[in-house]
Structure 1
Amino acid sequence: MLYGDGTSYLLSILIVLLGFGVMVMFLRWTFSSGKSVVARRPRTGGENEYGLFVPVASPATMIEGEQQRLQLEAGQVRAKLVQTTDGPRVMVFEKDEKIARTILAAPPPPPDVLR
């Protein structure tokens, strides 16, 4: 007898089947659809589809929006300029909305102050 008694033979078959089962589960998880770990391509959404961000300004152009974003950054408010389906928007977190609107309502500083 090659394996001695029957228990070691049965144990080796169970180990092989267990390893095969683990490989099948891993491959099933790897090639399943709809649960990709790769990030999706970003898409343009409406101004209300940006989670915790709220729009505080609707600039006419991206250049004007970038100037407003820089004005907010100079005022220590984190801001983002995004292209939405409604046009460019300057977005901030909800908690910073009141401060951002106050900063944007103030006249812009002279150009040499921003340097």
Structure 2
Amino acid sequence: MLGGINNGLYLISLSGFLIVGVMALILKWAFSNNKSVVERAKKIGNEDEYGLLKVAASPKNHIEGEMLRQKLLSVGIKASLSQTKTGPKILVFEKDLKIAKATLNS
């Protein structure tokens, strides 16, 4: 006994912290999708490189684009504002494209 402390209980409690730390490291390694912990630089693509998203509008700048995006969100259309090689674009799913264009033109 060190200074009136039960050594067995002390070591058991320290081993619990050690086990939690080791498990945290294992989980971090297991669920990481790449080996680097540094975020990659964002890649700016063409209009056709955004999968299921289609261009609904081509605003002049990000401020105008955010205003248009908020207008679409207010009527229930999911929209995103992305920077492409040809400038900022409002992107929506193809099923919402006609409604989005009509909403933005009104």
Other-structure match for 1:9: none
Other-structure match for 1:64: 64
- In structure 2, how many angstroms separate the alpha carbons of the residues matched to 1:90 and 1:105? 13
SS class of match (1:48): helix
Other-structure match for 1:37: 33
- In structure 2, how many angstroms separate the alpha carbons of the residues matched to 1:69 and 1:77? 9
The alpha carbon displacement at 1:40 in A equals 5.2
The alpha carbon displacement at 1:37 in A equals 2.1
- In structure 1, how many angstroms separate the alpha carbons of the residues matched to 2:58 and 2:70? 15
Other-structure match for 1:77: 77
Asked which structure has the greater CA Rg, the reply is 1
- In structure 2, how many angstroms separate the alpha carbons of the residues matched to 1:41 and 1:60? 24
* CA displacement 1:75-102 (0-9 Å, x = unmatched): 1000000000010000000110011011
* RMSD across aligned positions (CA): 1.8
Unaligned runs of 5+ in 2: 1-31
The alpha carbon displacement at 1:42 in A equals 3.0
The alpha carbon displacement at 1:53 in A equals 0.3
**Match for 2:92: what amino acid?**
V
Other-structure match for 1:95: 95
SS class of match (2:47): coil
How many residues align structurally?
72
Question: Once the two structures are aligned, what percentage of the paired residues are identical?
Answer: 45
TM-score, normalising length from structure 2?
0.63
The alpha carbon displacement at 1:41 in A equals 4.1
Report whether the alignment pairs 1:48 with 2:48. yes
- In structure 1, how many angstroms separate the alpha carbons of the residues matched to 2:56 and 2:87? 13
- In structure 2, how many angstroms separate the alpha carbons of the residues matched to 1:49 and 1:64? 23
TM-score, normalising length from structure 1?
0.58
Other-structure match for 2:17: none
Question: Which 4+ residue blocks in structure 1 deviate beyond 4 angstroms?
Answer: none
